[in-house]
Each structure stands twice: as C-alpha cells, then as structure tokens.
Amino acid sequence: MTEFVNSGWAWFIALTTLVSLVGLILLASRVARRRHPSSTTETSDHVWDEDLAEYNNPLPRWWLNLFYVTIGWGLAYLLAYPGLGAYRGFLNWSQQGQFESEMADAKLHYDPLFEKFAATDLQSLMTNPQALKVGARLFASYCVACHGSDARGARHFPNLRDDDWLYGGAPATIETSILHGRQGAMPAWDKIIGEDGVRNVTAFVEGLSGRKTDSSAATKGATVFRTYCAACHGSEGKGNQALGAPNLTDDIWLHGGTTERIAESIRLGRNGMMPAHAESLGVAKVHVLAAYVASLPNLAAPTQVED
C-alpha cells in the first residue's frame, strides 16, 4: 500500500477535487443562462399519457443560488479541514487530535472517580452499589462481545456467573486475568493416541462427570488419560487452575459437552485467548471491572446499567 501514500497521490486527490468544484460551477452557470422568449413552448420531447409533456425551462434562480452556496460551503470546508490531499486545513484538525482531546476531557472528569475506587479493596467494591454500576458499564462496553450481555458466555467463552473458574475465582485472580489476559492451549492428541485412544479417553472423561459410558472403553481410556492427560488435569481429572486446565468432573464444558464435542477437543486440541486490558483500560478501571465480575455469581441478575 506504500504506493498510495506518496506525494503524487496527494496532488492527484487535491487537483481532482478542485477540478470537480470548478466543473460544478461551470455546469451551474450554463444552465442558469436565460433563453430568449419565443412564441412556442420548448419541451424536452418527453411525453406521457399522449399530452403530458416535460417543459425545458431554466432552473429557478433560488435553486441555482442555493447550489452556489453549497459549492462555496464545500470549498470553505476543504480550506478549513483536511480533504485536499496532504493539505491539513487552516484549523489543523485531525482524527487523532480529536480523539486525544476527548480522551483528555474524559480523563479530567472520570479519573478522580476511578482513583477513589482504586484505593478501595476489591471485597469492599463488590458490595458498593456505585462501583457495581460503573463496573457494569465497563463490562457492557468491553466484555459482552464474548461473554454476553448477561455474562453467561457461550460455546468457547466462559460463563462468568457459575462460580467455575479456569484460573481461579478469587477477586485478585480475576483482576490479574483482566489486566494481563490469558492464553490457554490444549494440544491435539489424534496423532499420538490414535482414534481408538480418542474414543476411549472420551468415554473415561464422560465417566468422570458421572455419565454412563462404555466401561470397557473407559477402563482403557483411564490408562491413556493418566499417561498423557493427568499432567495438566490431574490424576482425578479435577484440573489445575495454575495452568488453566479445566475440572473434568463437574460436567461444565467450555467447548461443548456432548460426546462428539469432547472427542473433538481431545482429537484436535483447543486454543483460547483472552486479551489483556491493562493498556486499553488502565489499572484503576480494571480494578472496578474485576470487582463487578467477581460479584456476578452472587447477583440474581446483571446489574442494571442506567443512562
């Protein structure tokens, strides 16, 4: 794309714009010329219903004057704001400058509020109605795309209201997850244990959560599980929050809990990523958001966000 950012393209855009404006002025001036009176009525040769003709009269003067005003307004706008190639306009306006100005205003108005919350411990914020309202607004702006407006998640995206946490549900741990993000990865096992191994481990894993399975397949799967899977999920399948390895005994499934989905996870592996929000939100806002998220399992319904 570098060929579109050199000075030649800037001149091309500026000249094309100016020539277009001049062309519009010439067009308007041509149609504004008065015709000499004649004894016959001139039409455009468009006739409907046998005798309904379209007259070819000059445009009204008020319409033409309004057209000239819009051209003048457009030219003034191009002189004041960017639009003529690389010319920045005498107001020196830019999207980046506008964004920085609005962010500075927001920082001036809202930073004192978040600084007050930042000085309060998470447990206290979890019972602070004002903090929860602010946290709900932050959640609605930054989290609902993945976790849903009710925070119950979806397939591949964790439910934040069930008190089942891959990396731990302590408020401080939740804050760490939001600040720095999480990267989860489960390797694909089909090349290592084969399709029979996938089927047997699936039977064993389903049995861990209390389901009825093929006992023979589950017995074989137990051996494979303890050889390849216990390092992350533990010998009893109860997971490891330090690694983000899920508990396989609670019948809660991030990627789907049907036999087919479980087998798919074992066969092909899974990769999940939650982005870090430290840079985009800042520590103070994450502090409030973490308090709101930590309180979700105890809330009967999502906190109402008021305008």
Q: Look-up: residue for tokens 């993000």?
A: 181
The CA distance from 233 to 243, in Å, is 9
CA distance 136 to 305: 6
Q: Which residues contact 285 (CB under 8 A, 6 or more apart)?
A: 114, 138
Q: % helix / strand / coil in the chain, to the nearest 5?
A: 55, 10, 35
Mean per-residue pLDDT over the chain, rounded: 89
The string of DSSP letters for 125-143 reads HTT-HHHHHHHHHHHHHHT
- What are the tens digits of pLDDT across the range 131-174? 999 999 999 999 999 999 999 999 999 999 998 999 999 999 99
CA 177 vs CA 4, 113, 157, 225: distances in Å:
41, 23, 14, 28
Q: Which of 151, 165, 146, 182 is nearest to 292 (CA)?
A: 151
Contacts of 185 (CB under 8 A, 6+ apart): 269, 270, 271, 272
Supply the pLDDT for residue 53: 81
CB atoms within 10 A of CB 67: 17
β-strand pairing of 182-186 with 270-274: antiparallel
Q: How many C-beta atoms lie closer than 10 Å to residue 215's C-beta? A: 10
Query: Which token pair is 142?
Result: 């930054």
Token pair, residue 279, equals: 């840079």
Give the residue with greater pLDDT, 228 vs 305: 228
Q: What is the mean pLDDT of residues 13-29?
A: 90
Does residue 1 carry a pLDDT above 70?
Answer: no
The model's pLDDT over 167-184, given as tens digits with 9 standing for 90+, comes to: 999 999 999 999 999 999
Q: In whole angstroms, give the CA distance from residue 262 to residue 256.
A: 7
Give Cα separations from 190 to 129, 222, 232, 265, 269 (angstroms): 50, 16, 17, 10, 9
pLDDT tens string 281-292: 999 999 999 999
The count of C-alpha atoms lying within 13 angstroms of the C-alpha of 244, restricted to the half-sphere facing its C-beta, is 16
Give the mean model confidence (pLDDT) for residues 271-289: 94
In order of their start, the domains of the chain are: 7-31+43-92 (no CATH), 106-181+275-298 (1.10.760.10), 186-270 (1.10.760.10)
State how far the Cα of 9 lies from the Cα of 64, in Å rounded to an integer: 33
Q: Cα separation of 46 and 208, whole Å?
A: 82
Highest mean predicted confidence (pLDDT) among 37-41, 57-61, 95-99, 191-195: 191-195
Q: Are 184 and 244 in contact (CB under 8 A)?
A: yes
Contacts of the segment 270-273: beta carbons below 8 A, 24+ positions apart: 270/184, 270/185, 270/186, 271/184, 271/185, 271/186, 272/156, 272/182, 272/183, 272/184, 272/185, 273/181, 273/182, 273/183, 273/184
For the chain, give the percent of residues with pLDDT over 70.
93
Q: Please state, in angstroms and rounded to a whole number, the distance separating the CA atoms of residues 287 and 294.
A: 11
